[in-house]
């Protein structure tokens, strides 16, 4: 498994809300699918309202989220 940082924005009322989330995934496609599913369920937005700007693979020393770092086996 690899760590990814997904950034983008989604429609929240009349405004767009920026997001940046670190997750564990096999590849970029699975990371994108997870983000679409997660934001849709938490914020009740449709997939077409979510714009993903970037999906970046992270090295273990670049991970900032402690849960993701723990799942990678880091300190």
Specify the pLDDT at position 73. Answer: 86
d(CA 45, CA 37): 10
Mind listing the pLDDT tens digit for each residue in 12-47? Answer: 999 999 999 999 999 999 999 999 999 999 999 999
Share of the chain above pLDDT 90, in %: 96
Give the pLDDT band of residue 75 (cuts 50, 70, 90). Answer: low
R_g of the chain, CA atoms, integer Å: 13
Q: Average pLDDT of the chain?
A: 95
Give the pLDDT band of residue 2 (cuts 50, 70, 90). Answer: very high
Instruction: Enumerate the domain spans of the chain.
Output: 2-72
Q: Using alpha carbons only, what angle is made at residue 45 by residues 44 and 46, rounded to the nearest 5 degrees?
A: 125
d(CA 66, CA 20): 15
Q: What is the CATH number of domain 2-72?
A: 3.10.20.10
């Amino acid at each position: 498994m690899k760590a990814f940082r997904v950034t983008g924005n989604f429609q929240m009322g009349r405004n767009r809300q920026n997001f940046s989330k670190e997750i564990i995934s096999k590849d970029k496609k699975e990371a994108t699918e997870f983000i679409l599913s997660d934001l849709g369920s938490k914020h009740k937005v449709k997939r077409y309202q979510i714009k993903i700007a970037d999906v970046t693979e992270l090295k273990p020393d670049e991970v900032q989220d402690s849960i993701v770092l723990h799942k990678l086996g880091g300190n």
